[in-house]
């Protein structure tokens, strides 16, 4: 992985988890269109539309590029630290529940941890408005792993949807008392791959006829479902289900309207890639004719 040279102050913040003084950073009141990258490894972290004026003295964002930022418990045992998911460089801290924006989240980031690339200088991929799709097909480890191998997919995040509790934990979901389903959020470039292609793949990397779970994973949190963003996605998903039923498959996949997506704990992300394993109940099986 590429790592840029850092000056002493950058090392103090990015490597030693320091903090720049408030109201001194270059990006505190910076609102030009573009992308904020990691100073150490150039990974794309935030888009300009994620940024908002919080008057806290540091750049504030209410969202991040999917999969770009990792949350960890701070050494003080109270706050939640955010680091670059690619190089582990310290970015700052994240705070929830402040009601500053509709997303109710504030990434408080050191300017020195980032560098900015304006829209005019972005590569062609980053100028495209990426879209997100949400699929549930059993344990999210395997679904995530197979979607990550798809051309046009920018990032895949494992998480939970469909329940009644905010910020559910894995233990709570497994206890089957929150109503959540294990889901993956697929962020993709619509100019490289469309929703129908992703949905077809979804139906071919899990068993859409299994009603009680997936493989040996049994329980309501492992149900097969698509959470659609709009009527167009719902219609496309239903058409694929109808095709499969016409081919003799008793599809039980549920179509649900989009609701809040809660990212799963960090140890669930990129699970198979980080552990050097392969899915135990997910594999590609061609079901649609050419």
User: Which CATH number is 128-275's, of 3.30.1060.10, 3.30.420.40, 3.20.20.140, 3.30.70.260?
Assistant: 3.30.1060.10
pLDDT exceeds 80 at position 121: no
pTM for this structure?
Answer: 0.60
- Tokens standing for residue 44: 């794309």
| pLDDT tens string 144-155 | 989 988 888 878
pLDDT exceeds 70 at position 123: no
What are the helix and strand counts (H, E) for the chain? 7, 16
CB-based contacts of 8, cutoff 8 Å, min separation 6: none
Catalytic residue, chosen from 38, 84, 108, 281, is 108
Please indicate whether residue 120 or residue 57 has the higher confidence score (pLDDT).
57
Rounded to an integer, the average pLDDT of 35-47 is 91
DSSP 8-state class, residue 87? T
Please indicate whether residue 77 or residue 125 has the higher confidence score (pLDDT).
77
Find the helix or strand (DSSP H, E) in which 287 lies. none
| pLDDT tens string 168-225 | 999 999 999 899 999 999 988 887 899 999 999 999 999 999 998 898 899 999 999 9
Rounded to an integer, the average pLDDT of 133-137 is 97
| pLDDT tens string 209-255 | 999 889 889 999 999 999 999 999 999 999 999 999 999 999 999 99
List the chain domain ranges.
Answer: 8-121, 128-275
Catalytic residue list contains 139: yes
pLDDT exceeds 90 at position 108: yes
Residue 124: what pLDDT? 55
Share of the chain above pLDDT 90, in %: 67
Catalytic residue list contains 108: yes
Question: Distance between CA 226 and CA 233 in Å, rounded?
Answer: 9
Yes or no: domain 8-121 corresponds to CATH 2.170.150.20: yes
pLDDT exceeds 60 at position 126: no
Question: Distance between CA 220 and CA 23 in Å, rounded?
Answer: 48
Question: Distance between CA 287 and CA 281 in Å, rounded?
Answer: 17
Mean pLDDT of the chain: 91
Catalytic residue, chosen from 87, 139, 174, 281, is 139
Residue 110: what pLDDT? 98
HSE value, Cβ hemisphere, 13 Å, CA-based, for 140: 31
């Amino acid at each position: 992985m590429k790592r840029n040279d850092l000056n002493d102050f950058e090392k103090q913040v990015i490597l030693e988890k320091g903090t720049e003084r408030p109201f001194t950073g270059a990006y505190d009141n910076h609102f030009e269109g573009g992308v904020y990258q990691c100073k150490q490894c150039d990974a794309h972290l935030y888009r300009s539309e994620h940024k908002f004026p919080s008057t806290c003295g540091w750049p504030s964002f209410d969202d991040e590029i999917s999969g770009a930022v990792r949350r960890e418990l701070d050494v003080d045992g109270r706050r939640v630290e955010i680091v670059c998911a690619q190089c582990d460089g310290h970015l700052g801290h994240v705070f929830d529940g402040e009601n500053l924006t509709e997303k109710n989240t504030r990434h408080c980031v050191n300017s020195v941890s980032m560098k900015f690339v304006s829209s005019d200088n972005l590569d062609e991929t980053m100028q495209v408005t990426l879209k997100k799709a949400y699929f549930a097909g059993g344990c999210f480890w395997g679904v995530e792993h197979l979607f990550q191998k798809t051309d046009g997919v920018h990032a895949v995040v494992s998480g939970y949807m469909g329940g009644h509790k905010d910020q559910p934990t894995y233990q709570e979901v497994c206890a089957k008392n929150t109503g959540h389903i294990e889901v993956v959020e697929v962020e993709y470039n619509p100019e490289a791959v469309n929703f129908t292609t992703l949905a077809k793949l979804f139906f071919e990397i899990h068993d859409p006829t299994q009603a009680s779970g997936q493989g040996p994973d049994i329980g309501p949190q492992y149900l097969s479902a698509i959470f659609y963003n709009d009527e167009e996605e719902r219609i496309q998903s239903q058409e694929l289900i109808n095709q499969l039923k016409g081919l003799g498959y008793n599809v039980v996949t549920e179509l649900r309207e989009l609701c809040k997506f809660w990212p799963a704990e960090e140890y669930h992300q990129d699970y198979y890639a980080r552990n050097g394993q392969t899915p135990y109940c997910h594999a590609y099986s061609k079901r649609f004719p050419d």
